[in-house]
Structure 1
């Protein structure tokens, strides 16, 4: 499952959303709240065997990498910063071919680092975005033709933004 979907789901293991919709308050949270939660998430995504034990250092590294990637998407740091602690190299692949390989010592982290690296090289990374709504910031894969999508869901975040802007314009007019 080494795709943009994996990256998107990894980035969304932290839910920063804090909005109200139809009277329901959405309160975000941290899916990777423990080493056990990390192990479960990895198993659910085929990156580790079910029941594998994770160490606290695994959790710290996963959250640090995710945080740096999210900061990169927000424009707070350069994307290359996310890879500072994860040296990459070319490794043999199929006969006569090479692939980008991470050597973190953890297979699951190698897959995530390599998936992001390949997305950056293919310029697919620019299609992974954080929702422009400040009370959302959900990571999403922008599938719009122009690549200019701003909202994780136009019917929710985009609509709330447009409604807010409409109300502000009409309040200023009166």
Structure 2
């Protein structure tokens, strides 16, 4: 019996706690690899191999040898990611993104994307021989579909004051508040419980 696959990533808090985070879109998964400004300290895409590793952990779930990534293509992926960080954060706070960042997405999306394939048994197969440029295009197209689609107004930032992870709320009621109930949601519950206890003891 095979284990049921669930989308999302396994992240680690600064304290070493493992938790599941599903941002709801491929493009937003890329934001967990680092970013511009203050997010640069979380950078994990130092070598082409690092992007390949992320590829296997992302919702694409492609094997390590499915996509060849060059140093230049890694740089393009980081440029796209940084632009997407700014655009997603702006959308989460109801602000328009910059023309320069939109241009980065459009330029990346203009290149050929990964070509999906199906195996004889009906399951997804590795794409045709592909490279990092196609991967970047695939992520950019996903970002454009998100930012122009029906869930564009549901791009949100985690409600915790010390967490800035961005996700798209695809739940039916549209009330998702936390990056993960396992992590920030539980921390909020603990703080709220302590606050109630303190008020009772006063």
- Tell me the SS of whatever aligns to 1:162: helix
Alignment partner, residue 30 of structure 1: 43
| Structure 1 residue 77: Cα displacement | 5.0
Alignment partner, residue 181 of structure 2: 154
1:59-103 CA-partner distances (Å, limit 9, x unpaired): 541342243244225528524654143447xxxxxxxxxxxx932
**Alignment coverage as a number of residue pairs:** 147
1:108-138 CA-partner distances (Å, limit 9, x unpaired): 3222222111122222233343321233333
Over aligned residue pairs, what C-alpha RMSD do you find? Answer: 3.6
Alignment partner, residue 167 of structure 2: 140
Alignment partner, residue 8 of structure 1: 28
Alignment partner, residue 158 of structure 2: 131
Q: Give ranges in structure 2 of 5+ residues lacking alignment.
A: 1-23, 36-40, 113-132
Alignment partner, residue 85 of structure 2: 67
Note closer, same or farther for the CA distance 1:73–1:50 as it changes in structure 2 (3 Å cut): same
Q: Which of 63, 87, 102 is equivalent to 1:83?
A: 102
Note closer, same or farther for the CA distance 1:63–1:121 as it changes in structure 2 (3 Å cut): closer
Q: Does 1:117 align with 2:130?
A: no
- Distance in 1, matches of 2:105 and 2:166, equals 22
TM-score w.r.t. length of structure 2: 0.54
| Structure 1 residue 147: Cα displacement | 0.9
TM-score w.r.t. length of structure 1: 0.61
Note closer, same or farther for the CA distance 1:76–1:6 as it changes in structure 2 (3 Å cut): same
Q: Give ranges in structure 1 of 5+ residues lacking alignment.
A: 16-27, 89-100
Q: Contact conserved, 2:157 with 2:164, CA < 8 A, in 1?
A: yes
